[in-house]
Amino acid sequence: MRGFKQFLMRGNVIDLAVAVVIGAAFNAIVQSFVADLLTPLISAFGGLPDFSSLKVTIGRSSFMYGNFINALVSFLMVAGVVYFLVVKPYTHLRDRTAAKAESKTRECPECLSDIPKAASRCAFCTTQVA
């Protein structure tokens, strides 16, 4: 029982649980954005994008490929929303932050210790550095 408790209290499990809950809430927001804003916008220009009535009948079997097309279009719209409203801004912000947090040290070529960039001599091995 102690091992199970340690497993549950490990940081990765807690982080994963929080990520799943936040992901589910975020999914509701993205689905609402697509269904309530993007789909009506598309239907205003080209009619309601509903392909669910499309099917092919072979013998007694009906293949409802229209439902697949609906799911594919919905997925592409959700993926576009996530990319342009979450991934792209996050990447831009992360890159700006990383540029500001540039390292103030460099590696000594002789002993591989970290020394300040402005140093002309290594404090550990006293090698003169360029």
Helix (H/G/I), strand (E/B), else coil: 128 = strand
pTM of the model: 0.54
Question: Is the pLDDT at 23 greater than 80, yes or no?
Answer: yes
Residue 47 CA from chain centroid, whole number: 32
Mean predicted confidence (pLDDT) in 119-130 = 89
Beta-bridge partners for 107: 114
Q: What is the pLDDT of residue 48?
A: 62
Torsion of CA 40, 46, 48, 50, to 10 degrees: -120
Across the chain, mean pLDDT equals 84
Query: For the chain, first and last CA: distance in Å?
Result: 59
